[in-house]
Structure 1
Amino acid sequence: MSQLLKKDLRQDACRGIARWFYNNALSFNASRDDLFAEMFELVARHGPGCTIMSDGWTDRKRRSICNFLVNCPRGTSFVKSIDTSGVIKNTEKVFQMLDNIVEKVGEEHVVQVVTDNASAYKAAGERLMAKRKHFHKTTISKGKKITNFIYARTNLIAMMKEFTNDRDLVRAGATRFATSYLSLARLSEQKGNLMTMFASEKWRKSSFASIQEGKRIQGIALDGRFWTNVVNCLRAALPVVKVLRFVDGEEKPAMPFLFQELCEAKLKIKSNFSNMEKR
């Protein structure tokens, strides 16, 4: 998976740089200038910021608990745990909860908030983005739109499996957070097949291609920026997913080894971003 992500990211970067040269009719010799390399180094140092992640679960007393974490290449930090039993169906309360977390972390440090896909969270997320206008719409949400659109239509599932060699796009995990990212990883694995499907004659002749929602989904699937964001999400999140799966396992007690697992996840994230701590 790591090699696949690196390859995809490099290809997308090369295509983007090449388009910039072509569109501006620049000589490729310009890339030999020392300032060209310095420019990319400074961009890399600036980096995209951090992600606030929420992971909902139910304890033995049937209470809904939500853990909030902040993730960046420097590591993952626990922010707080909240009993959301009386909150999860109330959009206003969910919005206030998310907004307070963003305020605690610092809006200037946050580029996205990854939450549960429940209706109250989705509505609260829209309000949060309206208030915090620099937020990006989450890549994970776009990934879910692709899978939800396909799996709501039997004929489209059949078409998709023709292109993915009968592979599914949804993969279950121990928690909703893990499931979201594992499904995003499956999307990444099938990137080429999905892009081929949405660009195919079979898709163009289907009834799905003519409806507005189908056009939006096709636009997401053929957007190189979306796939670049998928790669970046996975580079930051998969090491954390590994820790969550370890904690959820029953083979051995997790607590004595948790610190070591978190340290390894931190190093892996740092490695995934080429040891650029500020990314």
Structure 2
Amino acid sequence: MFIKSLDVSRERKTGIYLKEIIVSVIESIGQEHVIQFITNNGSNFTSAGDMLIGLYPQMYKMRCASHEIQLLLKDIYEEVNWVKVATDEARIIVMFMTQYTVLHAAMKEFTKDRQLRQPCATRFASNFLMLQSVLDVENELRLFVASSKWRGFDYCKTESAKRVTEIVQSDFWARGREVIKTIEPLVQVLRLVDSDGSTAGYLYEAMTRAKVAIKERCNSEASKYGRIWELFENHRVNNIIHPIHAATAFLNPAYFCSQNFREDREMKDGINFIHKNLLLIEEKHPFMREVQLYRSRPAILFIATAKTMLQTSHARIWWDYNGDDLPVLKKCAIRILSQPCSASSYLEKLGELPDFEYEEIHMDEDDNSTLTVEGYMDDLMDNDDIAWLDDALF
């Protein structure tokens, strides 16, 4: 639910200033309806978030998962040499082919008007969209650089053109496809959190599965996936996964009842976070009793209709329909499972207007959006068609 935007282009966006304008919004909504505050990693917003938590202790703050995954993709590009080399070679092709109008027009004759994508400076996943756009026209570019039309351009007698020809006629194509195949699971997580819906209960599982998929797609070669895993885990622990995400994974009944589920320390820490920060004093004891009952998968909770809804309904809807015997846990689960992980989808709706600052405050809303659980995640991780990337980014 979008409530308002503010033009702060002429203001000094200090932490105190941001805190004051956000407080005014919270008070207009009613603090009992505000659950989470999603922000970027700017020091002013971090400071504002800290002050907000001090004022509203039953609210929590987290970083925008979409933004943080973009930063992870940036680090992978910059620090994993085999990824960087193939991506930079694609950039050399794109920059040269689009530099001259006449040359670009001739290229499009060969590609049947299919375009080469330019990377976006602030959307680091677009590096891989650019690479994909080059891979999509492999045969056409091979024919173009071998044609008399290519040789007829003065531009194509330069050292830059010779470099492009070398790349097109090299093993770049196999290396480029390897990069796309490896990065795909992570960009699919980006696609998930960039969507306009309640995704908090799915991020933890998605990141877990993406990490495994990256290793598999590198044929378990440590020299390929090792550094990616290091970057992945650093960003996952420090910037992407909040304790709430681990708790919502535990409270997502479809994941909880799946063969892939493994209860871990992060999930217990997430439940502890809820117990410490989000409950009234009188709710704490019944909350823990109900967590333990849920954990035992009682037949009274997982009746036939509940089992069917594991495959058909969003986790929030499942709790709303089936959770009456665990009232405190039901209330908490519905509130946190209703939340998004990112502010990016809301910014895109606003058109990302220049000189405006937006942060998302998320409410306890009656969201009836449905996310297919296991099938959706399987589609994300098992799809070998790289056409997904275009939809994932734009």
After TM superposition, the score normalised by the length of structure 1 is 0.49
Between Structure 1 and Structure 2, the one with more strand by share is 1
Larger Rg: 2
Query: TM-score normalized by structure 2?
Result: 0.35
